[in-house]
Structure 1
Amino acid sequence: MSKSKIHYAWVILIAGILIAGAGQGVILNTFNAFVKPVTLDLGFSRAEFTLCSSISLIVGVLTLPYLGKLFQTSRLKLVVCACAIVASLVPLGYALCGSLWQFYALSAVLGLAVNGVGLTMIGSVITNWFNRKRGLVTGIAFAGSGLFGAVMLPIVTSLIEASGWRFGFTVIAATAAVLFVPSAFFMLRATPQEMGLAPYGDSAGQTGEPAAQNGMTRAQALRTPALWTCMVGLFLHTGVCIAINANCVAYLSDLGHSAQVTGLVASVVLIFLTIGKIGFGEVFDRLGDLKGALLMTVMVTAAPLLFLLARNTFFAFFSVALLGLAGGGGSVVASHIIASYFGRKNFASIFAIAMIPGQLGSAIGPVFAAWIFDLFDSYTVAWVLCGVFGAVSIALFILSALSARKMPKYD
């Protein structure tokens, strides 16, 4: 490949942005806009309808290890294309639903497909294609979910108000398909070897001779304390971030803030989450896994404690901005750590396992904070415990890094 030509890795980055934008951004991040209109129209309780998200998440967690194995085979593109078709059709199916069981059944189908076009797949492909700037590039690709979600959410809200929730789901399906077709079907390539290239930043790429992929097997990685301490740290980190994010509007409203302030705070979280994904990608590239993880976990420890002061508007915005940055870091830290500690030989398979705790944290965190509120009629205890969990995550990431440095070098 001539030095004057643009490396195909940059096309892969664009594909990753579009796939993250379609799957996570357009399909998943807009679901909350449908809760009120669907429940009012069909007579479901909000708890019954929001269970759709939990069903998708649980099915996704159960299938993620299997998908992780497929991501490291030549069938990756076929899997991604199949999942893209299914994920696009599910919102169209939602538009035709009239019964709760139909929503649940389609949500289970979405759970089977969503990780095939999700961050785990994108992180695996980015790691295959980039040696240099891998953290930054992963963050940029992941940021597609926040960017497309931020753009699509107000559009969908307006469409629902004007034409109804069924039309809104139809537009979601069409938009996702428009984004998936060029990215998943035409632009995506699982590895640079498919095109006779080496990863971007690999000197072998100038000759077309890809470097060997070294690393542990998944079975070997699962026997290391480094992986398990890292995963528990990811569970606590993600749980804290999502617990606050999901309950911040209710908490600020309880404190007496206006609807304008609470709505703006919710937008600030999303904006800083996007900034955090990109920014922490660069942080991990420059500072390494341990220093980057420490900065991220210190932020997530401070955010809930500062949130206790959120009666003051400045602290309300400052704490959620800090939380957004830390949450963005949590999106990219697993990709960087797994590649750094365990190599690339079985990266996709190990990475898929490492992403499970984050998904579980996303499911448990909001319920935990709400349960604490119901118990004490206040979020104060919840935010204090979140600060404690954040501090524990600091210790776990330190232990993970120290354990990794004592591991024998992989082949």
Structure 2
Amino acid sequence: MTQTSPRPIFYGWYIVAIAFLANFMAVGTGFYAFNAFLEPLCEAHGWTRTQVNMALMLGTPFGLLGQFFFGTLVMRIGVKKLMITGSLISGIAFMLVFQVSSLWLFYLLYILLYVGNGAYGGIVANSAVSNWFIRKRGKALGIATAGMSLSGAVLPLAAMMLISRLGMGTTAILIGAMVLVLAPLVRLVIVNWPEDKGLQPDGEIQSQPESEPKLSGGLAMGITTPGIPLEPSCVLDDVPRWTLGRLVRTSVFWKVGPAYAMAMIGVVGVMSQLKPRFVEVGFSDTTAMLLMAATALAGTLGKYVWGALCDVIAAPKMASTIMAINGIGLLAALFVHSPAAIGLFVCLFGFAMGGVMSTYPILVADLFGRKAFPSVFRFMGGFLVFQMLGFGIAGASFDRFGSYTPAYILFMGLDVIAALMLLSVKRPPAACDD
């Protein structure tokens, strides 16, 4: 009796692992670590929270507008060179940003940090994963983007402990060095396309000949996007050229983009200052940070679960559900003197919040196809520039009213609108999976 050797791990999962680390460091250094550095920065330099939050507001448009530039470069040079360059820029910027006492120089370095993070995380890391998967795209991107939320559970707490012992400057150098380590890892592991290694997406052993058209629903290859049927005319190598002019004439552009922008206003407004919010309502610094970490940890689980669900249930329905649960979680957060309500907020908002940025690239890839993803997402990602309003709204709410509660009420309303907008999303004409 012959014994068959086990099938080797599909190389695409190594790409997912690197994308996970990239998203962990990009979001962790540019966003979540702010929870640990915000109060020490204000105390050390006499800056207000609105002034410090301005760094995030200034960095966000540069980082997100850079997504258009990086999306274009991905199509021309691939993801590998971008990820190496971005991690080097970001690592050095993070080492320096907390060493300065000049507010304008702090802003400048934070902008550089955001640009560097955009070059190795976000659309670039997610494109690397999307290139390697079709049937398992939701699961793969769910794992890759889980790094975003896991960074919120790990990095702020670690940074707070390091700052208390070593100070802001040394802590920044140590974290920046962790970002620099990504460069050699990317160089060793990242391959732009499975075809470059003689493989097929998802690790398929046999593939459909390129000359054969895909049947409606992807039946020719057994590949389908749940609830979003493919056009019968789609051919494997017939990838639509999605210019901005063509994209703005689709309803998808004006439903999906604004909906995710509204959701992200609330997500970044809450998560960038969640530890200070818990302190505001009476928790100690350590307990507040642990609650913030628990919320981010719930988001880590949410990113994977929501991503995996998108493989079996229509992504627009999943996205709408996520926005609705976000709003319910924020409602629970208003009952600040109820431990049960706080626990409900951590579980509901954390779990749903994690699905926002994991389902965005999944939804775009499902609607437009694997090869069209970077050309479309470079435009769709532009809507996320409006998330910078979340930083300003949260900071102004505290400075003016002494509480984050007014901001939470506004964020809750935006989630409800976003949930309603996503219910009617349909695949645009001529889009095809590939």
Give TM-score scaled by structure 2 length: 0.83
2:296: which partner in 1? 270
Q: 1:347 to 1:369 in 2, by over 3 A?
A: same
What's 1:168 paired with? 171
CA–CA distance in 2 between the matches of 1:154 and 1:310?
A: 22
Evaluate the alpha carbon distance shift between residue 64 and residue 326 of structure 1 in structure 2; reply closer, same or farther with a 3 A threshold: same
SS of structure 2 residue aligned to 1:18: helix
**Cα shift at 1:201:** 4.7
The SS at the match of 2:424 is: helix
Residues 1:310 and 1:149: Cα distance change in structure 2 (over 3 Å): closer
Structure 1 stretch displaced more, 47-56 or 340-349: 47-56
Give the C-alpha shift of residue 249 in structure 1: 4.9
Give runs of aligned pairs for residues 121-140 of structure 1, distance below 5 A: 121-140=124-143
Which of 195, 202, 212 is equivalent to 2:236? Answer: 212
For residue 72 of structure 1, give the secondary structure of its aligned residue in structure 2.
helix
Unpaired runs of at least 5, structure 1: none
1:396 corresponds to 2:398: no
- Cα distance change, pair 214–136 in 1 and its aligned pair in 2 (3 A): farther
Aligned with 1:180 (options 183, 195, 208): 183
Q: 1:262 to 1:95 in 2, by over 3 A?
A: closer
The within-5 A match list for 1:5-404 is: 5-26=8-29, 28-94=31-97, 96-182=99-185, 184-204=186-206, 212-219=236-243, 220-246=246-272, 248-249=274-275, 252-253=278-279, 255-256=281-282, 262-361=288-387, 363-371=388-396, 382-401=407-426, 404=427
CA RMSD between the two structures = 3.0
- Partner SS state of residue 192, structure 2: coil
Q: 1:262 to 1:109 in 2, by over 3 A?
A: closer
The letter for the 1-side match of 2:355 is G
Q: Tell me which amino acid in the other structure corresponds to 1:217.
A: R
Measure, in 2, the Cα distance between the counterparts of 1:112 and 1:248: 24
Aligned residue pairs total 405
Distance 1:59 1:48 in 2: 18
Cα pair distance change 1:38/1:378, threshold 3 Å? closer
Query: Could you tell me whether the CA contact under 8 Å between 1:124 and 1:351 is conserved in 2?
Result: no
Q: Aligned partners of 2:112 and 2:279: how far apart in 1? A: 36
Aligned amino acid, residue 201 of structure 2? P
CA contact (8 A) 2:325 2:349 kept: yes
Q: Which amino acid aligns with 2:119?
A: G
Output the CA distance in 2 between the equivalents of 1:74 and 1:293: 31
Higher percent of residues as helix: 1
User: Given that residues 260 and 418 in structure 2 are in contact (C-alpha distance below 8 angstroms), is that contact kept between their aligned partners in structure 1?
Assistant: yes
Q: Letter of the aligned partner of 2:84 in structure 1?
A: C
- Kept in 1, the 8 Å contact 2:323–2:419? The answer is yes
- Distance between the aligned counterparts of 2:84 and 2:408, measured in 1? 41
Aligned amino acid, residue 228 of structure 1:
W
Residue 97 (structure 1) shift = 3.0
CA–CA distance in 1 between the matches of 2:154 and 2:174?
14
Q: Which amino acid aligns with 2:311?
A: D
Q: Relative to structure 1, is the Cα distance of residues 105 and 87 closer, same or farther in structure 2, using a 3 angstrom cutoff?
A: same
> Mean Cα displacement is larger for which, 319-328 or 257-266?
257-266
What do residues 36-69 of structure 1 show as CA deviations (whole Å, max 9, x unaligned)?
3344444544443443222221211222211111
String of CA shifts for 1:371-393, please: whole Å, max 9, x gaps.
45666676655444433322211
- Note the alpha carbon deviations across 1:233-253, whole angstroms, 9 max, x for none: 101111223334345555555
Q: Is the 8 A contact 2:269 2:394 kept in 1?
A: yes
Q: Which sections of structure 2, spanning at least 5 residues, go unmatched? A: 212-220, 222-234
Deviation at 1:276, TM superposition (A): 0.9
Residue-by-residue CA offset, 1:335-360 (whole Å, 9 max, x unaligned):
12111211223211211322232342
Taking the aligned partners of 1:318 and 1:190, their CA distance within structure 2 comes to: 41
Percent of matched pairs sharing the same residue: 24
Report if the CA contact (8 A) 2:143-2:303 is conserved: yes
Mark the CA change 1:262 to 1:28 in structure 2 (over 3 Å): closer, same or farther: closer
**What is the TM-score of this pair, normalised by structure 1?**
0.87
